[in-house]
A and B are shown apart, each in its own frame.
Chain A
Amino acid sequence: MTFLAQDPTLADFGRDPWWLVLGKVVFAFAFGLVATLLGVWFERRVVGFMQVRPGPNQVGPFGLLQTLADGLKMAFKEDILPKAADKVVYFFAPVISVVCAVTALSVIPFGPMVSIFGHRTPLQVTDVPVAVLLVLACSSMAVYGVVLAGWASGSTYPLLGGLRSGAQLISYEIALGLSVVAVFMTAGTMSTSGIVAEQGAGTQLSVFGTEIPAPGWYAILLFPSFVIFFISIVGETNRAPFDLPEAESELVAGFMTEYSSLKFALIMLSEYVAMVTMSAFTVTLFLGGWRAPWPITIWEGANSGWWPLLWFFGKVVALVFVFVWLRGTLPRMRYDQFMRLGWKVLLPINLVWLLVLGGLRSIEDWDTRSKLIAVGIPAGILLLATLFWPSRRPEPKPTVQEQVDNRPQGSFPLPPMDLQVPPSPRTRRVVAEREPANIAAAPDSQEV
């Protein structure tokens, strides 16, 4: 395979002239902003489609400029500073959120080595040996934005929302960090470009004479980690069904209740940038990064030049769609259910999976017979344990009639089982007499 030479290594970073570094930084920042503008529009259109209504379609073609109009409107609104607010912290909290969300984009690989004005350079702002930890550090610092926004507002609902959200983010960060460990174990590196390169090296399957590369995506190889990781990032970005920090039915709007105008716009911006950043992070860690999926790789040049940008953006948009899909489908979880899911389900499953993965990796170079023994004995014990585990036989469930008969004396009265409510004699059946409409039907072209 010739295109493997396109993979940047750590040594390829830090050699750019200053204008190239500046250009890359501006590109990553602009990517975050544009993704927010389009992301809000995308979300509203998709949710609208799922709820059988048009969504924003008036401003600009397909309503594309709706978010821009909303942003302008927000900028001209009055900036309200609550009397009890801690002024400095109140101002800095949304800034912290935005900075953390955007900074994480700097280690996301957008593409392979390309040539820009004669310079061979990777399409990535920078890469460090601990790039994945950098993203985790950014997301752990983003908690400050939320908690401080809640505290500095100086009122009750924001404080409760902020604290609740802080607890949520910290809990899900643990599950997030643990699911990334499996990727480290398999890839053997923490640099994002290295992880993308490792996912490209899949084995070849030969089916009817055609070479089909077996997917090296960690989403398939490390499926449990992928599922836990995705659940965790939904919790980490405060998206439905885990949008408890701003649960409007119980906390008004949570930590952002007191925010208005541009500061509110900043909070909203940081949420959407975080969603896009986390999608890009998932694509990098589990979905092969900028590498094209199988049918496209038949074409030799799919993984070189500027084409990988397209595959990368396609994967990110697909993941953002999943975020929106979740929001359009699932109701919000209750807080205790949510915490139980994080601590009592995701965390233990993750630990057991890491143990299994570590075991599998340590027997990798054994011969087949020892391998079979090493896998077979624990599997057999597990099978026997599940077979002979003492199970309590459930008692036969009494029928409704039996339950009603067994009620003790003096119970609250129940209506008879075969109760039929007769129509009230006071209601009269009213039938509306309507004249036939004879207006010529106009073409219903304009949707409002």
Chain B
Amino acid sequence: MTTSTLLAAAGEVSGGEEVTFWILAPLALLGAIGMIAARNAVHSALWLVLTMLCLGVFYVLQAGPFIGMVQIIVYTGAIMMLFLFVLMLVGRDASDSLIETLRGQRVAAIVLGLGFAGLVGGGLWRGLQGSAAVGLEQANAEGNVQGIARLLFTKYVLAFELTSALLITAAVGAMVLAHIERRKEDRMDQIATMKARFAPGNYPGPKPGPGVFATSSSVATPARLPDGRLTDRGTSDILPVRELTAQETSLKGTDK
């Protein structure tokens, strides 16, 4: 990755660039195919990471070092990482089932996908055939980063700002939907919690565990306080408190 490679003149392909391309292009394709073919969602994401990394190196090779690094930092490092987070929280054993819900869906998808790729590839090939890329020298004249900065902050400043406003709106919207704000007066700091614990009417000791002093070890059994009263503080809120019948409290006959 030398400076001369980075600022390669358009049209000429240096030896190093060619070697790198022929090593990485199959890897990128392998990643793309692996992403489709992998059964496990996390493996799929990892294959996609491979493709994105190869793309990042391609950008660097094509005299765009800044966009290449940003591709790796932002897409591979941040966005794919968030994807992985979600996938891992879903569960590691979640794999796709191979049962077709629509008959012939897979064959149709393959045919349509290949056809679309053929159309796009053919169109691009015919469109770009014989045309030589120009203007790379001028674009990178004062350095790649400076060139991008000049364009972003002059010509495309409005589009850039609009995009960032859109992204921020989306982020704030997601937060508004998902975030539960507790009111300030409802929030209790450690001192307030401690005071409430020792306030009159509250028992400051630890809560009784389920089944403490009780006749059964079921979690649904209300605990008995040391003075013999029943208390529902030991049971979960979703469990109704009830007295057990004699049949329920008797031994099941499973223990010798």
Q: Which residues of A contact B (CB under 8 A)?
A: 10-11, 13-14, 86, 89, 126, 128-130, 133-134, 136-137, 140-141, 143-144, 147-148, 151, 154, 159, 162-163, 166-167, 170, 173, 177, 190, 408-412
Contacts and interface: CB of A to CB of B under 8 A. Distances in A.
A409 B3 CA distance: 81
Given A128-B65, A129-B65, A163-B88, A140 B72 contact: yes
B77 A140 contact: yes
Contacts of A147: 81, 84-85, 88
A170 B78 contact: yes
Contacts of B49: 144
A134 B68 CA distance: 10
20 contacts: A14-B2, A14-B3, A126-B2, A128-B1, A129-B144, A130-B65, A133-B66, A133-B73, A136-B73, A140-B73, A140-B77, A143-B77, A147-B85, A147-B88, A154-B92, A166-B84, A170-B81, A177-B73, A412-B198, A412-B204
B199 interface: yes
B5 interface: yes
Given A140-B77, A163-B88, A410-B200, A126 B1 contact: yes
Contacts of A162: 88
A128 B88 contact: no
Contact of B46 (A89, A126, A134, A154): A89
Interface residues of B, number: 36
A169 to B, nearest CB: 9
A130 B72 contact: no
A11 B65 CA distance: 16
B103 to A, nearest CB: 33
Interface string B141-154: 00111000000000
A133 B78 CA distance: 14
B76 to A, nearest CB: 7
Greatest chain B CB density within 10 A among A13, A129, A136, A151 is at: A129
Contacts, number: 96
Contacts of A128: 1, 3, 6, 65
Nearest to B204: A412
Contacts of A409: 200
Greatest chain A CB density within 10 A among B5, B69, B145 is at: B69
Contacts of B254: none
A87 to B, nearest CB: 12
Contact of B89 (A129, A163, A170, A177): A163
A13 B73 CA distance: 24
Contact of B76 (A89, A140, A167): A140
B97 interface: no
Contacts of B5: 14
B200 A137 contact: no
Nearest to B46: A89
A122 to B, nearest CB: 12
B198 A137 contact: no
Nearest to A106: B1
Interface in B47-104: 49, 56, 65-66, 68-70, 72-73, 76-78, 81, 84-85, 88-89, 92
Given A133-B70, A144-B81, A14 B4 contact: yes
A167 B3 CA distance: 35
Contacts of B204: 412
A162 B56 CA distance: 26
A9 B129 CA distance: 38
B88 A151 contact: yes
B223 interface: no
Contact of A137 (B4, B42, B69, B143): B69
Interface of B: 1-6, 40, 42-43, 46, 49, 56, 65-66, 68-70, 72-73, 76-78, 81, 84-85, 88-89, 92, 143-145, 198-201, 204
B92 to A, nearest CB: 6
Given A89-B46, A409-B200, A412-B204, A137 B1 contact: no
Given A14-B3, A147-B84, 19 more contacts: A86-B42, A89-B42, A128-B6, A129-B3, A130-B66, A133-B66, A140-B72, A140-B77, A141-B72, A141-B76, A147-B81, A151-B42, A151-B88, A163-B85, A163-B89, A173-B78, A409-B200, A410-B201, A412-B198
A134 B2 contact: no
B77 A137 contact: yes
A136 B72 CA distance: 9
Contacts of A89: 42-43, 46
A143 B81 contact: yes
Contacts of B84: 147, 151, 166
Nearest to B72: A137
A397 B161 CA distance: 51
Contacts of B77: 137, 140-141, 143, 170, 173
B33 to A, nearest CB: 17
Given A163-B85, A408-B200, A412-B204, A129 B6 contact: yes
A159 B78 CA distance: 19
A355 to B, nearest CB: 16
A410 B201 CA distance: 7
A201 B107 CA distance: 66
A113 to B, nearest CB: 16
Contacts of B88: 147, 151, 159, 162-163
Given A133-B73, A144-B81, A163-B89, A13 B3 contact: yes
Contacts of B199: 408, 411
Greatest chain A CB density within 10 A among B49, B65, B144 is at: B65
Greatest chain A CB density within 10 A among B1, B43, B66, B68 is at: B1
Nearest to A409: B200
Given A134-B69, A137-B72, A13 B200 contact: no
